[in-house]
A and B are shown apart, each in its own frame.
Chain A
Amino acid sequence: MSSRDELYRRLFRTALLIRLVEQRIIELYPSDKIQSPVHLSIGQEAVAVGACDALRKDDVVFATYRSHAFYIAKGGRLDAMFAELYGRMGGVSKGKAGSMHLSAPEVGLMGSSAVVASAIPHAVGAALAFKRRKSSRIAVTVFGDGATEEGVYHESLNFAALTKAPVLFLCEDNGLAVHSHRHIRQSYGLLQHAASYGIATRRLDEGWDAVAVREATVEAVERVRAGEPFLLEIATARYKEHVGVGEDFHFGYRAQADIDRWKRHDPLIQDRQLVEALTPEVEREIAQAVAFAESSPTPGRAELLTDVL
């Protein structure tokens, strides 16, 4: 097997793990065992997988409420994630974070915020801290295209450019802010806007291709590690509804055909041979994680006022 085949297979496996984890969440959801709003990454897995594979373990990522994919791709524990969704003591945050606030500081996932754009400046601050220490670590902020409309996004780009902060701005462009399309939200071109701060940019349209995402991220990270911010925009597609486990094409705000076109490229759909080959062991891994969550105790009164400060 060539090294490129090996790379493809490695990234494919992580992407498949994310997709099957979320399909398991969909199956579990009607049971009400997961009492947490879930923002599924199905369709967007390749972005997280390709990007995180281009990072070092000690590079830090700041993510959003749609972060199951980044949590898994950065190397977070699957059993702790399921236990967190279940609201159990064995969860990442003892059941205080739920789906929207996953973190795994031991592998560099420094929190996920459910207020759009709010973690973008965190990455700039962390990057500056690394720079001050003359460390080679970098910080990555992941956000959707809608976040770029917020004022703090501008503040963060400006500050990062001024200070040459080693930060990668990673935009997952699924074209939607909840149900609103980009053309009614943005009067600017994202790349031109960032370029006006002197920030180098690139857009990748093949966001279904984890290997291509990885290559684009490797190039971006090289420049960031050398001491400048970079904006990488990756086109992607959200298959499911904004929040929840269902589909939403019947509401008429978007066309199923657009997603179907995307699915024709999606390796997790098209490469059936590899899906079949890898699914049994991935499913076993998921089953163990779910079993861990099922057996984990619920937090009691002692936890209610713990860690406020």
Chain B
Amino acid sequence: MNVTATKQKPTATRVLSYAGALLETMDAGLASSPNVFIMGQGVDDFKGIFGSTTGLAEKYGADRVFDVPLMEEGMTGAAIGAALVGDYPITTHIRADFAFLAMNQIINLASKYSYMFGGLMRCPMLIRVVVGRSWGQGAQHSQSPQATFAHYPGLTVVMPATSQAIVDMYPQIINKHPGPVISIEHRLLYNLDFSVADSGSKIPLTSYVARPGKDVTVVATSVMVIEALRAAQYAEDKAGIQAEVIDLNSISDPDWDLVVDSVRKTGRLVIADTSWLEYGLAGEVCRQLVMRDPGLLRVPPAMLGMAKAPCPTAKSLEDLYYPSQHETVDAILTQVKGQEHGIPLPTERSMTEGYKRFRGPF
């Protein structure tokens, strides 16, 4: 599948997978300065975090790209210590769920060291976590903790949805951003190919318009940006509806003006997130809108997220658990034309139909 996230007038493009974009930026980060290093379980093995670190240990040496024991808290603490004396650590968690073992270091320490010491301590670092989905990932390999992390001041949280976002953002983060950054990557995106422009405007560490439109605003994150783009195309093809898709992209520092301006224009809103709706990103988007102007929406917004349960493993339940392409299209059509829109929905039941050749590696 080749997915294009619209970007203003790219000059020249090439095809690059999400994993390939990660590998490029990891490589470039290591090349940029000897103080950059990568550690994580399996970063130097033959799978190389799904191809995102493959060959880097050989290229940069075992003291700069190295495997660690199973010690999420210890690893994150060691990263903080290295950062405090001037290194730039990149750590990996092959599932975001495992980063919960590092919560003490991330929340009690990394997020607070700048403020708690009055600016004397800085721990710039990049923590890469991968969200799993499909093929029975289940309750402990599927969680998407953007709302959790973005709740805490001092953490910068991004969710790159495309290769372009990685190629543009990671060089702004690695060895440049002053504090700890958590990048929530999505496993389903790793094997997708994207068109990437190497020149032109860079995706910033905040939100951007992935597809312009005038009829309805779709605020999406991570893989749901891809789903939203597909749904928007369908809605345009079948009903002439122009949906504006905003990739929120930065969860800690979204461009709220961009979102508000879009909703002011469309009066209609779909929020498509990769996690639970309760106390989450969808609520925050609404809070920001309502606080600025309670009269922006012409109809109640639609919200797509995971069902309020731990993730099941059975395919039949998993298909119900995640918002489907069917539901995403329906939400867009309903916002614009009402529930009785009468427009046929795509036959594809779920997003995983589109990626069903995905059977690992996990």
Q: Spell out A's residues near B (CB within 8 Å).
A: 60, 62, 91-97, 101, 103, 105, 110-111, 113, 115, 118-132, 139, 151-152, 155-156, 158-159, 162, 306-309
Is the pair A307, B114 in contact by a Cβ cutoff of 8 Å?
Answer: yes
Is the pair B113, A93 in contact by a Cβ cutoff of 8 Å?
Answer: no
Residue of A nearest to B63 (CB): A132
Is the pair B73, A152 in contact by a Cβ cutoff of 8 Å?
Answer: yes
CB pairs A–B below 8 angstroms (22 shown): A62-B81, A92-B117, A92-B118, A93-B117, A96-B117, A101-B116, A113-B108, A119-B77, A121-B78, A121-B81, A124-B74, A124-B77, A125-B83, A126-B82, A126-B84, A129-B82, A129-B85, A132-B63, A151-B73, A159-B75, A307-B118, A309-B154
Is the pair B69, A162 in contact by a Cβ cutoff of 8 Å?
Answer: yes
B contacts with A, residue count (CB < 8 A):
40
* Complex interface: chain B residues within 8 A of A306 (CB): 119
Q: Which of B28-81 contact A (CB under 8 A)?
A: 37, 63-64, 68-69, 71, 73-81
Is the pair B81, A308 in contact by a Cβ cutoff of 8 Å?
Answer: no
B86 at the interface (CB under 8 A from A): yes
CB distance from B68 to the nearest CB of A (A): 7
Is the pair A155, B69 in contact by a Cβ cutoff of 8 Å?
Answer: yes
Residue of B nearest to A158 (CB): B69
Residue of B nearest to A139 (CB): B81
CB distance from B107 to the nearest CB of A (A): 10
Is the pair B121, A111 in contact by a Cβ cutoff of 8 Å?
Answer: yes
CB distance from A27 to the nearest CB of B (A): 26
Q: Spell out B's residues near A (CB within 8 Å).
A: 37, 63-64, 68-69, 71, 73-87, 89, 104-105, 108-109, 113-121, 153-154, 156, 178-179
Looking at A115, A122, A156, which has the most chain B CB atoms within 10 Å of its CB? A122
CB distance from B100 to the nearest CB of A (A): 14
Residue of B nearest to A309 (CB): B179
In the assembled complex, the Cα of A303 lies from the Cα of B184 at a distance in Å of: 31
Other-chain residue from B78, B105, B117 in contact with A97 (beta carbon distance below 8 A): B117
Residue of A nearest to B68 (CB): A159
Is the pair A126, B81 in contact by a Cβ cutoff of 8 Å?
Answer: yes
Is the pair B105, A118 in contact by a Cβ cutoff of 8 Å?
Answer: yes
* Complex interface: chain A residues within 8 A of B79 (CB): 125
CB distance from A173 to the nearest CB of B (A): 22
Is the pair B80, A125 in contact by a Cβ cutoff of 8 Å?
Answer: yes
In the assembled complex, the Cα of A264 lies from the Cα of B117 at a distance in Å of: 38
Is the pair B115, A308 in contact by a Cβ cutoff of 8 Å?
Answer: yes
Known A110-B121, A309-B179; contact A156-B154, beta-carbon cutoff 8 A = no
Residue of A nearest to B71 (CB): A155
Residue of B nearest to A137 (CB): B85
* Complex interface: chain B residues within 8 A of A101 (CB): 116-117
Is the pair B77, A152 in contact by a Cβ cutoff of 8 Å?
Answer: yes
Is the pair A121, B85 in contact by a Cβ cutoff of 8 Å?
Answer: no
CB distance from B155 to the nearest CB of A (A): 9
Known A139-B81, A151-B73, A152-B73; contact A96-B118, beta-carbon cutoff 8 A = yes
CB distance from B73 to the nearest CB of A (A): 5
Other-chain residue from A113, A115, A130, A309 in contact with B156 (beta carbon distance below 8 A): A309
* Complex interface: chain B residues within 8 A of A105 (CB): 120-121
Other-chain residue from A129, A152, A159, A309 in contact with B114 (beta carbon distance below 8 A): A309
In the assembled complex, the Cα of A308 lies from the Cα of B155 at a distance in Å of: 9
Residue of B nearest to A126 (CB): B81
Is the pair A123, B81 in contact by a Cβ cutoff of 8 Å?
Answer: yes
Residue of B nearest to A156 (CB): B74
In the assembled complex, the Cα of A128 lies from the Cα of B73 at a distance in Å of: 16
Is the pair B120, A124 in contact by a Cβ cutoff of 8 Å?
Answer: no
* Complex interface: chain B residues within 8 A of A151 (CB): 73
Looking at A120, A152, A162, which has the most chain B CB atoms within 10 Å of its CB? A152
* Complex interface: chain A residues within 8 A of B108 (CB): 113, 115, 118
In the assembled complex, the Cα of A92 lies from the Cα of B120 at a distance in Å of: 9
Is the pair B86, A129 in contact by a Cβ cutoff of 8 Å?
Answer: yes
Sample of 18 further A-B pairs with CB below 8 A, known A92-B120, A128-B82: A62-B81, A96-B118, A103-B117, A103-B120, A121-B74, A121-B105, A122-B77, A122-B84, A125-B77, A125-B79, A129-B82, A129-B85, A132-B64, A132-B87, A152-B77, A159-B71, A159-B78, A307-B119
Residue of A nearest to B119 (CB): A307
In the assembled complex, the Cα of A132 lies from the Cα of B33 at a distance in Å of: 13
Is the pair B37, A132 in contact by a Cβ cutoff of 8 Å?
Answer: yes
Known A97-B116, A155-B71, A156-B74; contact A60-B85, beta-carbon cutoff 8 A = yes
Known A111-B121, A309-B154; contact A96-B85, beta-carbon cutoff 8 A = no
Is the pair A94, B118 in contact by a Cβ cutoff of 8 Å?
Answer: yes
Known A159-B68, A307-B115, A308-B153; contact A118-B74, beta-carbon cutoff 8 A = no
